[in-house]
Structure 1
Amino acid sequence: MSRHMHVGDVEARQPLLTGDHLDLSVLDSDEGEVIFDRRTSVIPHEAGGNIKQLTYEEAVEEAGFGLFHWLLLVVCGWANASDAVEILCVSFLLPTARCDLLLSSSDMGLLTASIFLGMMVGGYMWGYLADQRGRRRVLVVSLTVNGLFGGLASLAPWFWLFLLLRVISGIGVGGSIPVIFSYFSEFMPRLRRGAMISALATFWMAGNILAAGLAWMVIPRTWAHVSLGALDFQSWRVFVVLCSVPSITSALFFGLIMPESPKFLMKAGREKEAIHVFRLMFNLNMKGKDKTLPEFGLCTSSKPRGELEEIRAQGSQARCFTRVLKKGFVPVKQMFGGPLRTRSFALLVIFYCISFGYYGLWMWFPELFTRIENGGSPCANMSLPSTLHNQSCYPVKTAVYIEGFVIAASNLPGNIFTILMMDSTGGKALLSGSLMVSSLSVFLIYVVQTKAQSLGLSCVFSGVSVIAWNALDVVGTELYPTQLRSSALGFFTGVGRVAAIMGNVIFGKMVDTNCAVPILVVSVLLLTGGLVALLLPQTRQTELT
């Protein structure tokens, strides 16, 4: 077996026998670290046979593809859907909650931006922890934070408290979104990765439809209105509680039945645990088949023994904090330095443009449709918004929620198209093309004059923009190595949250006075993102490093 080791004690360089195979986690005398080549090798087995040493990609292929991966898709997909529900539920609250919480248009802009503020804080933090401590553990904690504080927001009697709880819930969402895709991709065979990540991304549509369907079924209903002492528990508060259920159940699934990522375990030098996961995958995938997985080892590399133990040995708490802070920014330096620089700057622009455009416009669709009930384009009558706050929000009109459901369902063609075309076309082409078409559809939303035309173009925007998001999910996981993957996705989703906050605040400030400006800015930004996407490298069916 070929491997590279630091010069050390002769005994330290000998492989150690553990159980029925060789333990290859040989420690360096100074760093406690060993680095293996990525080539398959064969070493003597203690029983007299030979045992293969597999790379990550080879081990994934040996584990097969089947039942385990479909179960993984359902669990990760439900978590992805729960994030969509938690993010998008606020947009369906606006037509009714604005009366109960006495919201102005600026307040509504802050409310739609609140969850993105939390996601901005949580995205990079959770991504960094996932690269250091493991994907599964971070998913359990972040999903719990998301669901718990999202549900508690339903009890908030004041706008500022509701806003605060939404921010905390957003911190949890910011952790689960990037980590889910890193975790999922690290179980996938190379030739199926693009299609399967695209399939995972379609669960965002499922969450969107679920949120719209719940809003349609619950918010207009009088049976969902109860009184809890001084708190008037309106139907929209019941809707908020129901929207927290997917996140809590997702946390339970990851905590009780899902294993840690084998790619992470290999990078952490935890060979035995990684082999156990590959065997679990094989047993489920080959269930009912007369096949056995032969003994094998893994080409792993061990990290220093835990960040916290190393930090504690360095001295005072102030110095510990400084070291942690410096370590936290190491991934950013690596992303924007060396060969990764061009792709990182390109992704920075793309995430900003698509997040500002998509969330800035999408979160306001229900409110815009409320304002064009009497016909015309969303920006045709500037005097209408000023009268809305003098009217009662009850009885609730169901038309707004029906339209939201239709727009959510219009994601389906785009998702199917992505699944069918991702592995053959590649994420780069789909990302660029869909952003450009999305730009055109948004511009036409501003131009059209009837409600039916606005609804139709909104459906086009929804169906095409989802292709860009799905392509970005695939490209983002394939552009960075394992030790940077979650950190990179967390950082860029954080950038996206800044853009989403700006988009929602700008819409809130200008929707009553100059509605055309934010809509046209969205169109320009989407076009810019589509052009910048052409600078990205082609990653179709590439190996994960």
Structure 2
Amino acid sequence: MVVKISKVPFEEALNMTGFSKFNLLMFMLCSSVIVAMVFEIYSVSYLVPASVCELDTTSTQQGLMAGLPLIGVITTSHIWGYLADTRGRRKILCVSMTIGFVAGAAAALSPNWIVLSILKFLSSAAVSGSSAIALALLSECTPASRRSTLLLLTTSAFLSCTGIMAILSIPILPMKFAFYIPYLDIHFNSWRLLNLIFCLPCLLNAFGVVCAYESPKYLLSKGEDKKALEILKGIFEMNSGKSGDLYQVSSVVLDEDNASTTSKGFLATLAAQIFPMFKPPLLKNTLLLGFMFILVFTCINSFIVWLPFMVDAFMSSVEKGFTEMTMCEMIRLARNSTQTEENTACTMNRTAMTMVFGISIMLAVLNAVASGVINFIGKRRLFIGIQILSGLAGILINVSSIWPLSAVLFIMLLTDVINFGFLSAFAVDLYPTYVKAKAVCLMVMLGRGSTILGINVLKNLIENNCEAAFYIFGGVTIAGGVIGLLLPADPSLFNQKTKI
């Protein structure tokens, strides 16, 4: 006879479901959603230069094509967060992935650069909130003792897929086939095929999300206690291999303030979702996390965007024997030597893409290591340590004339990208369920929006005052580590281990 316990707090009830098969499958699904989002948003990095010969685009048009997906992300991600908080994580993820695939696949048949830009804008806008929603879903289905670890591991998926995209483009883009489609007056060729491959994860995830559970915490916040309990029983059954009837919980209560609104109308409901984030007690979290997202995204995303350019310039100088120079001197040398060279190849440089792949995988591995020690060191300590080490590495690059050391320092600078996962973990922990997805989407929107400024500032500094770029961005990164002291302290590590 199983003794049933009533009115069990949600976190305790979730912990009683165990940690096993279900959690692994949910992690794989949510990581796959993040991969699909990255593939769709960042596909323009490969499609724009590869389509130059066919679409005959100018530099201005190429810049617009590359920038529109990011604009789509910035303008719509908060809307997807609102929908996820009011309509459900699972349902909105399914809609997002479906629209993303349809618009992304249609882009492969674009007759000109305008249609291509519009469709990539729509596909990127469709998937813009999917990573934040996936993180919210994963966090609400994972016991607290393992939550930060899984959330941080999703950053490894993000980092890996940027390298995977580079590797996929190496054999596909050089292909010479071309099938003429009379109705559209286009030739279906290699870059269009690559576009289809990049949007396939959206289709696969649309099916995957249909088979997944809704967040039991979300259902509980909406008053659907019986559905939430049934899902918890299902999780227990998958994890333990036992009948759901043996689950010891008979009723669950939400162990947080629930200010979910019953307001009618889109604007009223949207306002009810937004306003709590900008008044006590959530105002402090919103201001602090918003500032941290802007700072970290601006500093490191800018280097990630220009990674192929900087690595290619660095290795070009090394191959020519100019090794006793600082990294900035190498970049200037490579830039000056190619200013008069004409490059009309409608494909990406293989060496640069291979190096991007290697660096991406290395960062993904480092992120996995960080996720393995987070329960022993703590989120805040790791965040601060990574910020300071990354910033110091950026500053020291300017004084190193030993190229292997410069390479190591540059990779250390890039490790700050791991803090994307830490900030997301802080966000899902600090906001209640009824605004969680909206809040995470808003934070990511602020970070990505600030990246536009960082990208342009960094590129201008690299071309005109390279040393200042590393001093400024490295110094700001260190300042972010100091400000990180204001983030919530980690719970007692001893208590966490006891609960595990």
Task: Please report the TM-score for the alignment, with normalisation by the length of structure 1.
Answer: 0.78
The answer to whether residue 429 in structure 2 is matched with residue 475 in structure 1 is: no
Q: What corresponds to 1:349 in structure 2?
A: 291
Q: What corresponds to 1:63 in structure 2?
A: 17
Q: Secondary structure at 2:251's aligned position in 1?
A: strand
Identify if the C-alpha distance between structure 1 residues 98 and 424 changes in structure 2 by more than 3 Å, giving closer, same or farther: farther
- Letter of the 2:270 counterpart: G
Looking at structure 1, the residues matched to 36 and 349 of structure 2 have their Cα atoms a distance apart, in angstroms, of 26
Aligned with 2:362 (options 398, 406, 410): 410
Aligned with 2:331 (options 375, 378, 382): 378
Looking at structure 1, the residues matched to 57 and 397 of structure 2 have their Cα atoms a distance apart, in angstroms, of 26
Q: What corresponds to 1:420 in structure 2?
A: 372
Looking at structure 2, the residues matched to 512 and 164 of structure 1 have their Cα atoms a distance apart, in angstroms, of 31
Matches within 5 A, 1:144-155: 144-155=98-109
1:266-289 per-residue CA deviation (whole Å, 9 max, x = no partner) reads 010001111110111011111168
Identify if the C-alpha distance between structure 1 residues 155 and 459 changes in structure 2 by more than 3 Å, giving closer, same or farther: farther
- Letter of the 2:444 counterpart: T
Q: Secondary structure at 1:52's aligned position in 2?
A: coil
Q: What corresponds to 2:193 in structure 1?
A: 238
Aligned with 2:449 (options 488, 498, 514): 498
Of residues 527-536 and 52-61 in structure 1, the stretch that sits farther from structure 2 once superposed is 527-536
Please say if residues 53 and 346 of structure 2, whose CA atoms lie closer than 8 Å, have aligned partners that are also in contact. no
Looking at structure 2, the residues matched to 471 and 490 of structure 1 have their Cα atoms a distance apart, in angstroms, of 15
Q: What corresponds to 1:136 in structure 2?
A: 90
Q: What corresponds to 2:42 in structure 1?
A: 88
1:342-369 per-residue CA deviation (whole Å, 9 max, x = no partner) reads 3321211111122222322212222344
Please say if residues 176 and 189 of structure 2, whose CA atoms lie closer than 8 Å, have aligned partners that are also in contact. no
Looking at structure 1, the residues matched to 224 and 243 of structure 2 have their Cα atoms a distance apart, in angstroms, of 29
Identify if the C-alpha distance between structure 1 residues 385 and 453 changes in structure 2 by more than 3 Å, giving closer, same or farther: farther
Cα deviation for residue 386 of structure 1 reads 4.3
Identify if the C-alpha distance between structure 1 residues 215 and 410 changes in structure 2 by more than 3 Å, giving closer, same or farther: same
Q: What corresponds to 1:336 in structure 2?
A: 278
Q: What corresponds to 2:30 in structure 1?
A: 76
Cα deviation for residue 534 of structure 1 reads 1.6
**Unpaired segments ≥5 residues, structure 1:** 1-48, 312-319
- Letter of the 1:360 counterpart: S
Q: Secondary structure at 2:43's aligned position in 1?
A: helix
Looking at structure 1, the residues matched to 458 and 196 of structure 2 have their Cα atoms a distance apart, in angstroms, of 27
Please say if residues 143 and 251 of structure 1, whose CA atoms lie closer than 8 Å, have aligned partners that are also in contact. yes
Cα deviation for residue 83 of structure 1 reads 1.9
Q: Secondary structure at 2:129's aligned position in 1?
A: helix
The answer to whether residue 166 in structure 2 is matched with residue 212 in structure 1 is: yes
Q: What corresponds to 1:13 in structure 2?
A: none
Larger Rg: 1 or 2?
Answer: 1
The alignment yields a C-alpha RMSD, in angstroms, of 3.3
Please say if residues 187 and 261 of structure 1, whose CA atoms lie closer than 8 Å, have aligned partners that are also in contact. yes
- Letter of the 2:81 counterpart: G
Q: Secondary structure at 1:222's aligned position in 2?
A: coil
- Letter of the 2:423 counterpart: L
Task: Please report the TM-score for the alignment, with normalisation by the length of structure 2.
Answer: 0.84
- Letter of the 1:341 counterpart: L
The percent identity for this pair of structures is: 23
Q: What corresponds to 2:6 in structure 1?
A: 52
Of residues 512-521 and 239-248 in structure 1, the stretch that sits farther from structure 2 once superposed is 512-521
Matches within 5 A, 1:357-372: 357-371=299-313
Tell me the number of residue pairs that the alignment of Structure 1 and Structure 2 aligns.
478
Looking at structure 2, the residues matched to 162 and 370 of structure 1 have their Cα atoms a distance apart, in angstroms, of 28
Q: Secondary structure at 2:16's aligned position in 1?
A: helix
Identify if the C-alpha distance between structure 1 residues 483 and 65 changes in structure 2 by more than 3 Å, giving closer, same or farther: same
Matches within 5 A, 1:182-193: 182-193=136-147
The answer to whether residue 209 in structure 2 is matched with residue 254 in structure 1 is: yes
1:204-236 per-residue CA deviation (whole Å, 9 max, x = no partner) reads 1332232122123322x3256555454344433
Please say if residues 445 and 458 of structure 1, whose CA atoms lie closer than 8 Å, have aligned partners that are also in contact. yes
Identify if the C-alpha distance between structure 1 residues 354 and 276 changes in structure 2 by more than 3 Å, giving closer, same or farther: same
Please say if residues 18 and 236 of structure 2, whose CA atoms lie closer than 8 Å, have aligned partners that are also in contact. yes
Cα deviation for residue 248 of structure 1 reads 1.6
Identify if the C-alpha distance between structure 1 residues 50 and 141 changes in structure 2 by more than 3 Å, giving closer, same or farther: closer
Looking at structure 2, the residues matched to 133 and 94 of structure 1 have their Cα atoms a distance apart, in angstroms, of 36
Q: What corresponds to 2:322 in structure 1?
A: none
User: By percentage of residues, which structure has more helix?
Assistant: 2
Identify if the C-alpha distance between structure 1 residues 436 and 102 changes in structure 2 by more than 3 Å, giving closer, same or farther: farther
Cα deviation for residue 85 of structure 1 reads 2.3
Please say if residues 407 and 458 of structure 1, whose CA atoms lie closer than 8 Å, have aligned partners that are also in contact. no
Cα deviation for residue 157 of structure 1 reads 4.0
Cα deviation for residue 430 of structure 1 reads 1.6
- Letter of the 1:437 counterpart: L
Please say if residues 122 and 173 of structure 1, whose CA atoms lie closer than 8 Å, have aligned partners that are also in contact. no
Q: What corresponds to 1:433 in structure 2?
A: 385
